[in-house]
Amino acid sequence: MKEIKILGTGCPKCKTLYENAQAAVKTAGVEAHVEKVEKIMDIIAYGAMTTPAIVVDGQIKSAGKTLSPEQIVQLIK
């Protein structure tokens, strides 16, 4: 099972990235847990300098962009 975390403090772009990640999981047909990380200290612990960011299995895959569901599918396959 993949673990996907969306790092962001709750801005509209962060919410959109979270929704896009959920859609990508459904589209890709993979088992994954999608979680929001909104506490600033937790975000800093990942080393993210800009938000929103997406973390897949512990590694930052994108930061500062709101990826489309199609782009996220490529990250999680």
pLDDT tens digits along 10-29: 999 999 999 999 999 999 99
When divided into structural domains, the chain yields a total of 1
pLDDT tens per residue across span 44-77: 999 999 999 999 999 999 999 999 999 999 999 8
Find the CATH number of the domain harbouring 30.
Answer: 3.40.30.10
Which of 3, 9, 18, 10 minimizes the C-alpha distance to 69? Answer: 18
Q: What is the pTM of this model?
A: 0.94
User: What does the pLDDT read at residue 77?
Assistant: 86
In angstroms, the Cα distances linking 8 to 22, 27, 29, 31, 70 are 16, 23, 25, 23, 20
Give residue 39's domain range.
2-76
Residues with catalytic roles: 11, 14
